Amino acid sequence: MVNTEVTLSGVKLSNPVIPASGTFGYGYEFSELYDINILGALSFKGTTKEPRFGNPTPRIAEAEGGLLNAVGLQNPGIDKVISEELPRLRKVFRKPIVANISGFSVDEYAYCCERIDKEEQVEIIEVNISCPNVHNGGMSFGTTTEGASEVARAVKSVTKKPVYMKLSPNVTDIAAIAEACVNAGADGISLINTLMGMRLDLRRRKPIIANVTGGLSGPCVFPVALRMVWQVYERVKVPIMGLGGVSSAEDVIEMMLAGATAVQVGAANLKDPYASMNIINRLPQVMEKLGIDNLSEIIGGAH
């Protein structure tokens, strides 16, 4: 019988599949469709200090092999996430929870991470310095080594739980930014977030998305994500959560061979709410077909 278990910074997962932040809400919506405890872990919706309504609509545009979104970190704010969303999620989900934290200043990142660090339900903190759909925040910190390391250092000074920095692909040297985060104390890296893109309405001759640009996700970005996971694995010696276009059990194996310890599933959940469950169910079959007995032994195996 194959072994699908992996470990992220001391946190044991029954399998490496994690729904990506922003594509799975706070989990309980999906729990009405199937038992979400089949998941390895769950990364909930990006959280900021204050409540955010998000960007104006329309926020979504289709693209060949994927989609563009500019939701803009819509969330109820850190206080309500702690007082309402986390307890509600824990009623239906007993596996590890990854808290995705976003911000518009270093102080906001530190404040939110310090608050969430005290919550027993949360095992890992994922710090999003890569959101391309908000102005003067998110990705502005993740596009330079200085900005990324400043956030990582501030967050690590106020937390005890493992911190994973979620990086933007909209940079020239992803490995250098990952290395800066690790040197500042980060325990792991998540990559990639979405690629910036846009679509035009030919009749209106204007951008389809009100925000003009949006984040491109889906199968079309998988080769880019895989390449960046590979590069970061070559540079740093911390666990990596790989994401970007993952939509099959084969994609999970490929990501892990490139260097990922765990793999997040994003846009596939929006297309098919059963996507993560189906990937997990098929994973043992694919492992057997490829002669893999223990998933943890193939991490970085293609290097």
pLDDT in tens, the chain (303 residues): 999 999 999 999 999 999 999 999 999 999 999 999 999 999 999 999 999 998 999 999 999 999 999 998 999 999 999 999 999 999 999 999 999 999 999 999 999 999 999 999 999 999 999 765 555 555 578 889 999 999 999 999 999 999 999 999 999 999 999 999 999 999 999 999 999 999 999 999 999 999 999 999 999 999 999 999 999 999 999 999 999 999 999 999 999 999 999 999 999 999 999 999 999 999 999 999 999 999 999 999 999
Cα(200)–Cα(224) distance, integer angstroms? 23
Q: Specify the pLDDT at position 10.
A: 97
Residue 126 contacts residue 103 (beta carbons within 8 Å): no
3-state secondary structure (DSSP) of residue 65? coil
Interatomic CA distance for residues 245 and 65, integer angstroms: 9
In this predicted structure, what is the pLDDT of residue 141?
A: 83
Between CA 17 and CA 271 the distance in angstroms is 17
**Chain position carrying tokens 């102080």:** 107
Helix residue spans in 32-189 (DSSP H): 78-80, 86-90, 106-117, 139-142, 145-156, 174-183
The catalytic residue positions are 131
Angle at 109 (CA atoms; ends 143, 161), nearest 5 degrees: 105
pLDDT of residue 252: 98
**In angstroms, rounded to a whole number, what is the distance separating the alpha carbons of residues 33 and 121?**
22
Contact 43, 98 (CB under 8 A): yes
Contacts (Cβ under 8 Å, ≥6 apart) of 288: 2
Q: From start to end of the chain, where are the E strands?
A: 6-8, 11-13, 17-19, 42-43, 60-63, 66-69, 97-101, 122-128, 163-166, 188-191, 195-197, 200-201, 206-207, 214-217, 240-243, 262-265
Task: Please give the Cα distance from 111 to 127 (Å, whole number).
Answer: 12
pLDDT at residue number 127: 97
DSSP state string for 226-254: HHHHHHHHHH--S-EEEESS--SHHHHHH
Show Cβ contacts of residue 215 under 8 Å, excluding neighbours closer than 6 positions. 68, 69, 70, 131, 132, 133, 193, 194, 195, 196, 197
Q: Are 89 and 80 in contact (CB under 8 A)?
A: no
Under 8 Å between Cβ of 36 and 290? no
6-56+73-199+216-298 placed in CATH 3.40.50.300: no
